[in-house]
Amino acid sequence: MVASQGTGRSKDVTTARGRIPAEPGIWVFILLDMSIFAEMFGIYAWYRAVDHDLFRSSQNAVNPLYGLIYTLLLLTSSWCVVMAVSAARQRLIELSSKLVLWGFALGAAFAAIKIVEYCAKFSAGITPLTNNFFMFYFVMTLVHLLHASVGLGVLVYMRRQVSHLAQSTVGTDGRRMRMIEVAAVYWHMVDLLWIVLFALFYLRG
């Protein structure tokens, strides 16, 4: 490690070979969380390969347009959050705050439409007990929805940190900026995991 900026408990970690975005600790969490999802993806792929006809026929009951809409919402939300971080770095506080709000609104739209889709499935008599495909479909997308819900809370926290940047002192400024990055990294992970779920459940692969 050749440089360390900021004050307080957390510091900006920069090494000779690059800068660790946000905080080192968040990357441990992200890797563990992504490993749990990797395990779920793998088990799904195995069951799908063993009983391909069932998975294929069950997938016909899943409307791919929902998947496309979710993907567009989350990708756009993530892009807003990327720009919000850039704006915060340039101390464009108001703009950054608006961009986080847009990211939140798009994420909330994702969660709301997901609940509508679940209700449509239940009213059509499709539940996690219908078959293995729908067991995976409900469990994996629900675990993701829980991550997205936590992510919405994280975006609220991010917006607060952005608004407090204006009053930050030299000592707290770096720490707030890193917390903003931590929030952004978490939200991008929610987007990243959805990209895989979209491919597994909504595309006719």
Interface positions with another protein (CB under 8 A): 15, 17-21, 27, 31, 34-35, 38, 41-42, 45-46, 48-50, 52, 56, 64, 68, 71-72, 75-76, 78-79, 81-83, 86-87, 90, 92, 95, 181, 184-185, 188-189, 191-192, 195-196, 198-199, 203-205
Angle at 26 between CA 90 and CA 29, to 5 degrees: 155
Sequence-distant (6+) residues with CB within 8 A of 118 are 138
Nearer to another protein, 45 or 127 (CB): 45
CB 72 to another protein: min, Å: 7
Torsion of CA 182, 184, 190, 192, to 10 degrees: -110
Least CB distance from residue 161 to another protein, whole Å?
17
Cα-based distances in Å from 48 to 4, 92, 121: 48, 48, 20
Q: What are phi and psi of 18, to 5 degrees?
A: 145, 175
Q: How far is the CB of 169 from another protein (least distance, A)?
A: 25
Task: Please report how close the Cβ of residue 112 comes to another protein at its closest, in angstroms.
Answer: 21
Q: Which is nearer to another protein, 64 or 174 (CB)?
A: 64
Nearer Cβ to another protein (83/152): 83
Residue 79: left if φ>0, alpha if ψ -120 to 50, beta else—which one?
Answer: alpha
Are residues 114 and 145 in contact, defined by beta-carbon separation less than 8 angstroms? yes
Task: Note the helical H segments in 22-63.
Answer: 24-50, 52-59
Q: Which residues pair with 3 in a beta bridge?
A: 14
Closest approach, Cβ 59 to another protein, in A, equals 10
Nearer to another protein, 38 or 127 (CB): 38
Cβ closer to another protein: 135 or 192? 192
